[in-house]
Amino acid sequence: MGRINPERRERLVNDVKERYDRISGTMNELSKRLWAGNECLSIGHGGIGIVSKATGMARNTVVNGRNEVKAGKKLDGRIRDRGAGRKRSIEINPGLPERLQEIVAPFTRGDPMSSLL
């Protein structure tokens, strides 16, 4: 397979961007990734770069979406897989709640909801 003609590539980028901009506000992280993967598959060779450029998504996000579409991933109510995403702050810093309380305590009087600041 050869390179995509630059004019055709630019036309594809604009078409994908137009479709993405039309519906992206209604999609969550997972549905955006699956949509991008599906677009990539429909374009074929060069689709990863075209979809990445049109949507602003990282290339590996588009690749992950493509792989999920190929594997038949369904929208099952979970946006991320179990265990995915950022760890909670208290998991990273176990003493965080106590330290925050130490910082805030001098600036509250009898009623913790009544700040002196």
Distance (Å, whole) CA 112 – CA 37: 50
pLDDT in tens, 50-109: 999 999 999 999 999 999 999 987 766 666 666 767 888 888 888 888 888 888 777 766
Q: Label residue 1 by pLDDT band (50, 70, 90).
A: low
Q: What values do phi and psi take at 115, rounded to 5?
A: -80, 145
3-state secondary structure (DSSP) of residue 3: coil
pLDDT in tens, 17-33: 999 999 999 999 999 99
Q: Provide the whole-model pTM.
A: 0.66
Q: Label residue 110 by pLDDT band (50, 70, 90).
A: low
